[in-house]
Copies of this chain bind each other. A is one copy, B any other.
């Protein structure tokens, strides 16, 4: 019985991170993590006529740059796993149109980076394909008008709201590290070119496990209060991960959720505390890290680009430099739509986790 409730799988073949890239918008690039964001847009419309076209361009750039960073040719990438927040995940599908690679479209809302890495690592670890790209992205202006209201209305935001991050990121995984050079800087679209961290040869990062989340719904109906809706999903996935693996929070140098925001991550600490799990100083939330505390962003960042960008810059930079050896990255997604909200439904949420080791 126990075996069947298991949500975690291990990857003994250790699919390797051979390339990665993240692009962020100007607001994100000016925040507390600016020294880690090497590719910052000067304009979040990037010369396009619409925000949707800009979101696609940003994601496309992140995927191309990650593949370039991996030092593999485009034809060597076997599968692209990607998803985003837009209806019919158009950013991902239109990016996939540019690549001569198989494509698996995903929808996990803001949990997409972990979902794509978990599936991509599953496929590579099993030996089905050698090299896969795992991508996601989000854009403040497309998400805002799709999920909430026209930007021009200038709606006030409640204090527990979060701010959708403009960013896209891609991780290239491979069964072989021969072509990889994850420490090389990909081509740059904006300002802020900086050197990567690392003294000597950077540590090789591998995805060594994944916990597939279950859908959780604690009955939150306020679509501005995503952190509260998603925190229970993160807690359930953490509990399952620790039960399945026999590990505890101290086994990780960093446990990072993306993206509960400040309030949501406080709720997660409380919920975990009730389960006897003490999330100590090694726990951080990507949404709470990406912006300086201010009125406009309220509880911090959200959107699948937020955790994805931080994972592919700050977290992996630190792993390559030896500061983090073992990281648990948990991406959380709120699975409602405007239609379900109008029809009185609460917000189901999910959280997938991946283990990264350097």
A interface residues, Cβ below 8 angstroms from B: 1, 4-7, 9, 49-50, 52-53, 75-76, 78-79, 83, 86-90, 93-94, 96-97, 99-109, 115, 119, 122-123, 125-126, 128-131, 212-217, 335-340, 343, 345, 348, 350
Contacts and interface: CB of A to CB of B under 8 A. Distances in A.
A50 B96 CA distance: 34
A230 to B, nearest CB: 13
A123 to B, nearest CB: 6
A13 to B, nearest CB: 11
Nearest to A1: B75
Contact of A104 (B9, B87, B101, B212): B212
Given A9-B129, A122-B128, A348-B97, A88 B212 contact: no
A227 to B, nearest CB: 18
Contacts of A130: 4
B215 A90 contact: no
B105 A343 contact: no
A350 B88 contact: no
Given A50-B343, A119-B104, A122-B126, A87 B337 contact: yes
Contacts of A345: 94
Contacts of A107: 83, 88-89, 105-107
Given A6-B78, A88-B336, A94-B345, 8 more contacts: A52-B339, A87-B337, A88-B340, A90-B337, A104-B108, A105-B335, A105-B350, A106-B107
A59 to B, nearest CB: 14
- Per CB-CB distance, the 6 closest pairs between chain A and chain B, nearest first, are A102-B212, A93-B335, A88-B337, A126-B126, A96-B215, A87-B87
Contacts of A104: 106, 108, 115, 119, 212
Given A97-B217, A340-B94, A79 B348 contact: no
Given A87-B88, A88-B335, A122-B123, A97 B340 contact: no
A39 B166 CA distance: 46
A224 to B, nearest CB: 16
A339 B87 contact: yes
Given A90-B335, A122-B122, A214 B348 contact: no
A113 to B, nearest CB: 14
Contacts of A109: 88
A90 to B, nearest CB: 5
Given A78-B6, A86-B339, A88-B87, A105 B94 contact: no
Contacts of A108: 104-105
A215 to B, nearest CB: 4
B129 A90 contact: no
A128 B52 CA distance: 37
Nearest to A216: B97
A91 to B, nearest CB: 10
Contact of A106 (B79, B100, B105, B335): B105
A122 to B, nearest CB: 6
Contacts of A52: 339-340, 343
A260 B123 CA distance: 29
Contacts of A106: 104-107
Nearest to A7: B102
A345 B93 CA distance: 12
